[in-house]
Amino acid sequence: MGAAESVPETSIHEFTVKDCSGKEVSLETYKGKVLLVVNVASKCGFTETNYTQLTELYQKYKDKDFEILAFPCNQFLRQEPGSNQQIKDFACTRFKADYPVFQKEPVGRTFESVQIIGSEISSHGSLKI
Catalogue the active-site residues: 44
Nearest of 115, 27, 128, 31 to residue 71 by alpha carbon: 27
Q: Which residues fall within 8 angstroms of residue 60, CB to CB, at 6 or more apart?
A: none
Secondary structure (DSSP) of 11-70: -GGG-EEEBTTS-EEEGGGGTTSEEEEEEE-TTSTTHHHHHHHHHHHHHHHGGGTEEEEE
